[in-house]
Amino acid sequence: MKVSAGYWKAAAAVVMLSLGLVSGAIVAKDINIKVVDRTGDPLFSQQLEYPTTFDKVPKVKSTTPLSISFKAEAADKPLQLDQALVSFQHTTTGNEVALPAKAMGKSGVFKMEITRKQFRTHFESAPGQYNVALVLGSYAEGGLLYKLGDVHMAVGTSKTQSSVASPVYGPKEEIRHRFAEPQRMPNVVVSLVFSCAVVVPLVVLLGAWAKLGVNVDNLQREAAGSIAFLGLVAAYVGLAVAYWVGVKLFPTLAYALVLALPTFVTGRYALSKRIQKGI
């Protein structure tokens, strides 16, 4: 990643400022510090003017985010900083965490807010009191180190942890399961009557063929095409019976589509041969 020369010069100005080697013309105004709860109600709110600090030590948790906003100026004009950080230094260990303040447009206003993820990453494992300071740097105007005061980073105990630490023993509530009631089926007589009504047309057809005298002698003169065609027709009848017995609708339609093309081809072939032979 390529970094501009202005960035490095601004960082150098901030380092020199922290060491007391340089003073800048940057002014921080309208500094607002807020700590709010989950509903957005303020738990701590104060507005500072350089060089005042916090009146008291606010308590910050992951569920009560801390936000700091300010306006950077130089010669009474809004200033776009090259470096804007909020430094948190632990008063006991001396460890330091620097979080960036983002520019809110071109008006010179900057804001830093500690999110839950940042709190868990930087402060949850190291609770305690921290010194808070603005560390601002500009390539053209130098830098500013403004100590705002102290905040206390606290770690709350979740309900889940407390419930795990003190389990409750005893009989559990009885589980009552109700099986689904069997589906109501039609009367057996109705089923038998419907089955007979389906079979009767086939019996009548076979009886009519026998009474009229079906001539099957000519089938031998064109046996291949006729047998194949009649076999596929019988397969369709068997498929209808299978659907009636228990095969699902969509598999039945799939099998019918598979039988459709060979039935058409064999029927056309058998009919053309019979026409050629004058049967």
**pLDDT value at residue 160:** 41
Q: Distance between terminal CA atoms of the chain?
A: 90
Nearest-Å Rg of the Cα atoms of the chain is: 45
Residue 140 lies in a domain: yes
Whether 202 and 118 share a structural domain: no
pTM of the predicted protein model = 0.48
Q: Beta strands 59-60 and 142-153: pairing type?
A: parallel
Whether 85 and 134 share a structural domain: yes
Average pLDDT over residues 4-10: 45
Whether 125 and 65 share a structural domain: yes
C-alpha span between 73 and 30 (Å, rounded): 11
Whether 196 and 141 share a structural domain: no
Residue 183 lies in a domain: no
- The CATH number of the domain holding residue 146 is 2.60.40.10
Q: Which residue spans within the chain are E strands per DSSP? A: 27-36, 42-48, 59-60, 66-74, 77-78, 83-90, 96-100, 102-103, 109-113, 128-138, 142-153
Whether 125 and 17 share a structural domain: yes
Residue 10 lies in a domain: yes
214-257, pLDDT tens digit by residue?
666 666 666 777 788 888 888 988 888 888 888 888 888 999 99
Residue 223 lies in a domain: yes
Whether 146 and 52 share a structural domain: yes
**pLDDT value at residue 221:** 64
Alpha helices by DSSP H, 36-150: 116-122
Whether 15 and 151 share a structural domain: yes
- Mean per-residue pLDDT over the chain, rounded: 79
Q: Is residue 44 within 8 Å of residue 54, measured between CB atoms?
A: no
151-203, pLDDT tens digit by residue?
998 875 444 444 445 566 778 788 887 777 777 777 888 888 888 887 888 88
Q: Using alpha carbons, list the distances in angstroms from residue 106 to 27, 72, 73.
A: 16, 11, 12
Whether 116 and 203 share a structural domain: no
Alpha helices by DSSP H, 26-185: 116-122, 159-165
Which two structure tokens, joined as six digits, stand for 58? 């606010």
Higher pLDDT, 192 or 19: 192
Name the maximum alpha-carbon separation found in the chain: 123
Q: What angle do CA 72, 74, 75 make, to 5 degrees?
A: 140
Q: Starting at the edge strand that comes first in sequence, how are the strands of the sheet with 96-100 ordered?
A: 59-60, 142-153, 128-138, 83-90, 96-100
Average pLDDT over residues 126-143: 86
46-70, pLDDT tens digit by residue?
888 888 888 888 888 888 888 898 9
Residue 168 lies in a domain: no
pLDDT band at 20 (very low <50, low <70, confident <90, very high): very low
Helix (H, G, I), strand (E, B) or coil at 223: helix
Say how many domains are in the chain: 2
Whether 135 and 17 share a structural domain: yes
H helices, E strands: number in the chain:
6, 11
Residue 170 lies in a domain: no
Alpha-carbon torsion, ordered 201, 191, 235, 216, to 10 deg: -30
Domain with 59 in it: 5-156
* Residue that terminates a domain, selected from 133, 156, 179: 156
